[in-house]
Copies of this chain bind each other. A is one copy, B any other.
Amino acid sequence: MTRTAPMMELDKQLLQPGVKGLPITAPLRQGDIGARRWNVLNADTSFPVALLKSSALEHNLQWMRGFCERYGVQLAPHGKTTMSPQLFDAQLSNGAWGMTLATVSQTQIAHRYGVRRVLLANQLVSPADIGAVLTLMRDDPSFEFFALADSSAGVARLSQMAQQSGIERPLPLLVELGLAGKRAGCRGMEEALALAREIAAAPGLELAGIEGYEGLLVSPDRDKDHEQVRHFVAQLSDLLRQADAERLFKRSEILLTAGGSAYFDFVASGFAQVQDLSRPVLPVLRSGCYLTNDHGFYHDLIEQLNTREGYAPGQGLRPALEVWSMVLSRPEPTLAILGMGKRDASYDMELPRALVSHRPGAGLPSALPEGCRIEKMNDQHAYLRLPEGHAIAGELAVGDLIGCGISHPCTTFDKWPLLLAVDDDYTVQRAINTFF
């Protein structure tokens, strides 16, 4: 099965009235969306609506491909960000080595839509999950899967279930090296190396590599972050060297993986220095947010990365995800109520950023002046505060549109079963499905 076939099935499905963003009153074949030529600036869609700018997505796909080629690293982008078959397909078609995922449910969905190499950047613990993975590996010999391990208890479970499953090929594991006070992962080199030996010796398992996640080190003190990330990447490389010196790796290549969406340049440059081992090393980055970037938390981090990497302004990653909503009420001179809430846009890192206003059918969107900001969201509403005395406070009317950027794509994607890809004129091109 190619990846294309299940994607075509998605376009054949009948979308029912009630899918957020779609202005339909009767079922519509998903693949017919583009032919409708809906334009957001004409208020042809329903609101709120989540939009992906195709040109920014395309740019970011190319950018990341070039970045990885430059450093000689592979990419297994974190699919939990979007959980979108069409976006997974675009990433794999643009050179991604595989997909990273966080759960076995996500893995099952990715497999259904044609993904054949999954790096589970998580511990694999529950019996149902272990069983589901072993079933996929048994039923589909082309399916490659890697999971993390950080405890003897976890390794013992996996070894037992892998043996009981009767599958011939071993289950490949990576030792997770953690960080004191942070999330999962072995605390310290000794513990990690001991676990590597256990995995190498465990029936039904094989040691495939070393994993860490430097993204947990992001803090307001960037200089300190950089130093700690470099140190952590060096530790991962050391651990790999030591395990290799003991000949614990048996596969043809040794996986070495880290790389969130903030400091993947430090990871790439650190990994590029790992050489002269008993067998080839496969360095794999796992950024999930590069694809859409954002207008908030990751935008700021990526601007700093662009500077470090020497990209000119506008040549780095571009924000691709916007949520548009309508002004429902102008109850007070400096307050507009929008039909967009916690159900529609991220609020975990910061609230959405109001970028532009637009009166449907009237020219082009206008950048909102300084001082216009979303100050609060309820479940289904946002409170847009307007600067006192500014013209916008008098002009913005019920029925006008507000285009917002968001901060943290992962927590916006999971609010939309379907997003709309648009061209630079905000004409809707096609649907992008998600499965959360």
Do B184 and A151 have beta carbons less than 8 Å apart? no
Q: Which of A223-231, A244-252, A308-316, A409-417 contacts B (4 or more CB under 8 A)?
A: A409-417
Docked pose: A417 CA to B23 CA in angstroms: 22
Q: In the complex, A43 Cα to B180 Cα: how many Å?
A: 30
Contacts of A242 in B (CB 8 A): none
Most buried by B among A185, A187, A337: A337
Task: Please encode chain A, from 124 to 158, with 1 for each CB lying within 8 Å of some chain B CB and 0 for all others.
Answer: 01111101100110000000000000110110010
A393 CB, nearest partner CB in chain B, Å: 15
Contact status B123-A181, CB under 8 Å? no
Which of B20, B25, B337, B360 has a CB less than 8 Å from the CB of A183? B337
Q: Which 5 A-B pairs have the closest CB atoms?
A: A23-B128, A184-B329, A18-B108, A18-B109, A123-B328
Give me 18 A-to-B residue pairs in the complex whose CB atoms sit less than 8 angstroms apart, sorted by A's number: A16-B109, A17-B109, A17-B132, A20-B105, A23-B128, A23-B132, A25-B135, A43-B126, A43-B128, A46-B126, A47-B129, A102-B380, A126-B339, A151-B330, A183-B381, A183-B383, A184-B331, A186-B331
Within residues 406 to 429 of chain A, which ones have a CB less than 8 A from any CB in chain B?
410-411, 414-415, 417
- Which of A68-76, A203-211, A342-350 forms part of the interface with chain B? A342-350
Residues on B with beta carbons closer than 8 Å to the beta carbon of A21: 105
Contact B157 A399 (CB under 8 A): yes
Shortest CB-to-CB span from A326 to chain B, Å, is 5
Question: Which residues of B are found within 8 Å of A348, using beta-carbon distances?
Answer: 342, 347
**A398 and B183 contact, Cβ closer than 8 Å, known pairs A379-B411, A414-B343:** no
A414 touching B411, Cβ below 8 Å: no
**How many identical chains are in the complex?**
2
Residue in chain B with minimal CB distance to A151: B398
In the complex, the chain B residue whose C-beta lies closest to that of A46 is B128
| Any B CB within 8 A of the CB of A94 | no
Task: Say if the beta carbon of A80 comes within 8 Å of chain B.
Answer: yes
Asked whether any CB of chain B lies closer than 8 Å to the CB of A304, the reply is no
Asked if A104 lies at the interface with its beta carbon under 8 angstroms from chain B, I say yes
A19 at the interface (CB under 8 A from B): yes
A112 in contact (CB, < 8 A): yes
Chain B residues near A17 (CB-CB < 8 A): 108-109, 112, 132
Across the interface, name the chain B residue whose C-beta is closest to A343.
Answer: B414
CB of A344 to closest CB in B, whole Å: 10
| Least CB distance, A154 to chain B, in whole angstroms | 5
For the complex with contacts A153-B398, A185-B329, 15 further pairs of A-B residues with Cβ separation under 8 Å are A18-B107, A18-B435, A20-B105, A43-B126, A45-B128, A47-B126, A47-B129, A103-B380, A125-B326, A153-B397, A154-B398, A183-B331, A184-B381, A187-B331, A343-B436
Q: Is A433 an interface residue (CB 8 A)?
A: no
What CA separation (Å) do A107 and B410 show in the bound complex?
27
**A221 interface contact, C-beta 8 A:** no
B-contact bits for A362-380, CB 8 A (1 contact / 0 none): 0000000000000000111
Evaluate contact between B339 and A125: CB separation under 8 angstroms: yes
